[in-house]
Amino acid sequence: WAFLEVTTNASYNDSLQAYAAGLAEAAVTEQLMYMHWMNTMVGYCGPFKYESEYCQKLRDYLEANLAWMEEQMGKGQDPEYWHQVRLALLQLKGLEDSYNRRLDFPRGRFTLAPFGFLLLQLGGDLEDLESALNRSSPQRVLGSGSCSALVKLLPGNRDLLVAHDTWTSYQSMLRLIKKYTLPFRTSAGGKSQIPGSIQVFSSYPGTILSVDDFYILSSGLVSGCGPQGPLSPALLPFPPLPSLQVALETTIGNNNPALWKYLDPRGSVLEWLRNIVANRLARSGPEWATVFRRFNSGTYNNQWMVVDYNAFVPGRASPSPGVLTVLEQIPGLVMEADLTELLYQQGYWASYNVPYFEEIFNASGNLELVRKYGDWFTYDKNPRAQIFRRNQTQVHDLDSMIRLMRSNNYLQDPLSRCRGCDPPQNAENAISARSDLNPSNGTYPFPALRQRCHGGTDMKVTSSGMVPSFGLVAASGPTWDDVPPFRWSTSPCSSLLHMGHPDLWTFPPVKVHWD
């Protein structure tokens, strides 16, 4: 991991702070940005266009979307929301200008290049835009997992641990843990500061959000009304200390092509921006969901979990509402619920790329996949659902939580068996996948189970004791507890670009604390 802290001065206006934050970040991380771009995005709709039809459709979509947002910002309606959108875009412009050695602080309207560093922010949105705009070789393969997450109550409810593993391409393993302290106002002319002014998150060079996603937020409470009227007393600690929330997601995707008709560049805000705005403005899980669900783009379709540590009281048997809010998004539909009761009944909540809400599950094409491929695509009998159910009982402290989140014992674990696979034991069927270990000449019922340069690339975990100081424990690289460590030079992935990466990935977890 590399570490980056960006702090701006509240005595300057918000626009200047946002632009300067981007400027400073690119100035100190430009080498990492260059290498990460080369490893992951170079040539994407670049000068040698192999998919010119798709690339033109994507350019048109992004330009129409940026233009529509520009109109909204100019209207003066809903000033809080659009102020935060503008600041995020300004921060991105600062990042891009700084990287291109060009200082050009915009006083009024400004534009972003659709195929510049915007593409790095779009990571997850892009996967769905590729499907919706009919890219001939989309990045996402059928059944591909994209993250494991676990919210776990320790015995006697003495602590609440929240952990997340990113599953992605091994080429994206140049990593940064970032701490942003950006004391913006809630609106352009306002006096009050945003609740989420401090954010700590796992990230990448050149991205101003997590993308994984995993955030620890300082949603400092402000008296008054949020978008849902007055905050309920259960969500107001007393005395009013900074509230602390953790937001994380795993991708559920959309396997129903009929839903892509809901995508419209005018009238929607792409997921990466809605995520940033919700993180900055929300003071509770329900509020986060209310902000996030607006202007649903139907892209980067995820299951989000927001854990409000304010509502959590260690040792208490009966919970206050609002400890765990779960939201799921697909094109045309967003559902959310307070699942605190379920968390306390089960002792855990696990997330593994399958929708929880039945309506979302059915609408996004999963029934068809279950009919075709069986239990692997179900909510209850998916391999990770079963592994989490069996192994979460062994979690009694931070170390055992880390062990579970880094686990992959696919050769021995009966739950890693795959029906219709040869060989039957599959390295995708684990909490932290290692798809590079599947043999290239095997037979597999669908693409996610094949050999791929893809798997669990990290682990982050925090607790009620660490959250107030934005602490976490983080491990980087593919898991190597029960499987051989990943080495670029001897792996089937050696020909892929991996500038700046070490050859051998044997890094122990690190405890992250901020002085």
pLDDT at 233: 28
The larger pLDDT score, comparing residue 230 to residue 248, is at 248
What CATH number is attached to the domain comprising 452? Answer: 3.60.60.30
Tokens matching residue 97: 């200008």
pLDDT band for 51, please (50, 70, 90 cuts). Answer: confident
- What confidence category does residue 223 fall into, taking pLDDT thresholds of 50, 70 and 90? very low
Q: What is the pLDDT of residue 123?
A: 86
Residue 326 is predicted with a pLDDT of: 97
Is there a domain that residue 250 lies in? yes
Identify the pLDDT of residue 48.
66
Task: Kindly state the average pLDDT of the residues 120-149.
Answer: 90
- Per-residue pLDDT averaged across 330-354, rounded? 98
Work out the average pLDDT over 475-484: 98
Q: Which two tokens stand for residue 484?
A: 């051989």
Residue 292 inside a domain? The answer is: yes
Q: Is the pLDDT of residue 239 over 50?
A: no
Q: How sure is the predictor about 141, in pLDDT bands with cuts at 50, 70 and 90?
A: confident
Give the separation between CA 476 and CA 406, rounded to whole angstroms. Answer: 10
Q: Is residue 93 part of a domain?
A: yes
Q: For 122-128, what is the mean pLDDT?
A: 94
Query: Does residue 232 fall inside a structural domain?
Result: no
**Could you give the C-alpha distances from 208 to 49, 176, 194, 246, in angstroms and in order?**
27, 11, 17, 17
Whether residue 87 is predicted with pLDDT greater than 90 in this model: the reply is yes
- Domain hosting residue 199, numbered range: 2-220+239-512
Does residue 217 carry a pLDDT above 60? yes
When comparing pLDDT for 481 and 226, which is higher? 481
Question: 418-447 pLDDT, tens per residue?
Answer: 999 999 999 999 999 999 999 999 999 999
pLDDT band at residue 243 using 50, 70 and 90 as cut-offs: low
- The answer to whether 105 and 21 are in contact (CB under 8 A) is no
Is residue 220 scored above 50 in pLDDT? no
- Residue 225 is assigned to a structural domain of this protein: no
Rounded to whole angstroms, the Cα distance separating 322 from 234 reads 8
- On the question of pLDDT at 231 being above 90, the answer is no
Percent of the chain with pLDDT over 70: 95
Average pLDDT score over residue span 167-175: 98
pLDDT band at 235 (very low <50, low <70, confident <90, very high): very low
Helix (H) or strand (E) holding 247: strand 245-251
The pLDDT value recorded for residue 432 is: 98
Average pLDDT over residues 443-456: 98
pLDDT for the residue 229: 28
What CA–CA distance (Å, rounded) separates 342 from 72?
39
Asked if the model's pLDDT at residue 242 lies above 80, the reply is: no
* 36-49 pLDDT, tens digit each: 999 999 989 987 66
pLDDT at residue 28 is higher than 60: yes
For residue 199, give the nearest of 273, 271, 123, 279 by alpha carbon: 279
Q: Which residues touch 325 (CB under 8 Å, ≥6 apart)?
A: 284, 285, 286, 288, 289, 305, 306, 308, 336, 337, 338, 339
As given in the structure block, the two tokens for residue 281 are: 């403005």
User: Given a cut of 60, is residue 230 above it in pLDDT?
Assistant: no
Number of domains in the chain: 1
18's tokens:
């946002």
Q: Say how many C-beta atoms besides its own lie within 10 A of residue 311's C-beta.
A: 25
Q: Reduce the secondary structure of 43-102 to three states and give it as a string.
A: CCCCCCCCCHHHHHHHHHHHHHHHHHHHHHHHHCCCHHHHHHHHHHHHHHHHHHHHHCCC
**CA–CA distances in Å: residue 144 to residues 58, 114, 226, 251, 431:** 23, 27, 37, 10, 13
Q: Is the pLDDT of residue 227 over 90?
A: no
233 inside domain: no
pLDDT of 240 strictly over 90: no
Q: What is the pLDDT of residue 241?
A: 42
pLDDT averaged over the chain? 93
Which of 186, 303, 283 minimizes the C-alpha distance to 237?
283
Lowest mean pLDDT among 55-69, 237-251, 400-414: 237-251
Q: Is the pTM of this model over 0.85?
A: yes
Q: What is the pLDDT of residues 273-315, one digit of tens each?
A: 999 999 999 999 999 999 999 999 999 999 999 999 999 999 9
Q: Which is it for strands 160-165 and 148-153: parallel, antiparallel or unpaired?
A: antiparallel
In a domain, 115, yes or no: yes
In a domain, 78, yes or no: yes
422, 456, 433: which is closest to 165 by C-alpha? 456
Q: What is the pLDDT of residue 443?
A: 98
Which residues does 239 contact at the CB level (< 8 Å), separation at least 6? none
Mean pLDDT of 248-270: 97
